[in-house]
Amino acid sequence: MARGTLLRRSGLASGCSAYIHKPGWQKDQLCDKRSVADVAAVADPNTGLAVYDTFGFRGWLVVGGTSLSSPIIASVYAMAGNASGVRYGVDPYRADSGLFDVLGGSNGSCGGTYLCTGLPGYDGPTGLGTPNGLSGF
């Protein structure tokens, strides 16, 4: 797999940014630029969260992916109470014990590298993991 490749499968993506420089606190080896995922939340729309839509759809539906995970992670940052001091995603890297490491699964075929396979520690599909309370944020 070439560096800088964005991997996609079933709407999921992970890989290396084509534009953003790698911050000093990101230590993975296969990306010359910033690795895309920092943390993860519910991504599969088939096992996502049931919500009641009162605007367009008007009824119950199951949502997942970025439409669900972005507001979940934003709410975790808000509940942590330090949103004004957040600096470009560095906090989870400083306190990764506040995250559940996701092991297993993949979102592409890149020979089992961390960029598309859930492995111990940092990996492309789930970053450092999923929230385990607020201490990682």
Number of Cβ atoms within 10 Å of the Cβ of 20: 12
Domain with 30 in it: 6-131
Q: Residue 19: inside a domain, yes or no?
A: yes
Residues contacting 71, CB < 8 A, separation 6+: none
Does residue 44 sit within a domain? yes
In a domain, 137, yes or no: no
In a domain, 85, yes or no: yes
**Residue 136 covered by a domain:** no
- The radius of gyration of the chain's CA atoms, rounded to the nearest angstrom, is 16
What total of structural domains would you count in the chain?
1
Has residue 125 been placed in a domain?
Answer: yes
pLDDT band at 19 (very low <50, low <70, confident <90, very high): very high
CA distance readout (Å), 64 to 18, 46, 103, 105: 26, 7, 19, 17
The pTM is what? 0.78
51-81 pLDDT per residue, tens: 898 988 789 988 888 888 888 899 999 999 9
Residue whose tokens read 């079933």: 10
Q: Is residue 98 part of a domain?
A: yes
